[in-house]
Amino acid sequence: MKQDIQKHRRIFTSPRVSLLLAIVVLLAVLAAYVGITRGLAAQPQPTSVHIVRIRGNEPNVPIVPLDRTIMDTSQVQHLYQTILSLPASCDCGACAATLEAYVLTFYRNGQAILTVRAGFCGGVDVDRGNPNDTPAFRYRQGPAAFWAELAHVLGISQSDVEPIP
């Protein structure tokens, strides 16, 4: 047994074996990296978005109805990426009443891939239907840049889109 241990020690101290092990480790890391980046690139990109304006927290205030489907793929994907890059929000409770809000449903070839509720307290709730999504993923801030992007996609002014608390 002692001879076997000494034999293995000699093998692993050999420069050739060390180089071979380094190459194997490097290839494994590279394969893992390629797998991860392919996984990120493989996330479904939307081909359309259906946007509906709904009543917010004030039930007695009339709203102007809005129900549109946007099919311009570049606009849809830009809005989608804008939403996914919004900063996290604490979703910490109390906020002023919101008169109106929006529900955006992103589709990939007719199949819903993401639902977003925007406007309640000025925030954005991202729902992929995944129970493992953390609150940090789901609840996002809705800065002016988001509302400007939404207004652009809808073809209306930002003041007509941004929720008024």
Higher pLDDT, 74 or 126: 74
The pTM is what?
A: 0.67
Residue 43 is which amino acid? Q
**Confidence (pLDDT) at 2:** 60
pLDDT tens-digit profile of 110-158?
999 999 988 877 788 888 777 787 777 788 888 888 889 999 999 988 8
pLDDT value at 37 more than 50: no
> Which region among 3-12, 26-35, 39-48, 126-135 has the lowest average model confidence (pLDDT)?
26-35
Sign of the alpha-carbon dihedral angle for 116, 120, 124, 125: negative
The SS3 assignment for 146 reads helix
Cβ neighbour number for residue 86 with a 10 Å cutoff:
19
Higher pLDDT, 34 or 116: 116
Alpha helical stretches, state H, 70-122: 73-84
**Confidence (pLDDT) at 65:** 83
Phi, psi (rounded to 5 degrees) for 105: -115, 115
DSSP tag of 133: -
What region, left, alpha or beta, does residue 103 occupy, with left being phi > 0 and alpha being psi -120 to 50 degrees? beta
Q: pLDDT category, 160, cuts 50, 70, 90? A: confident
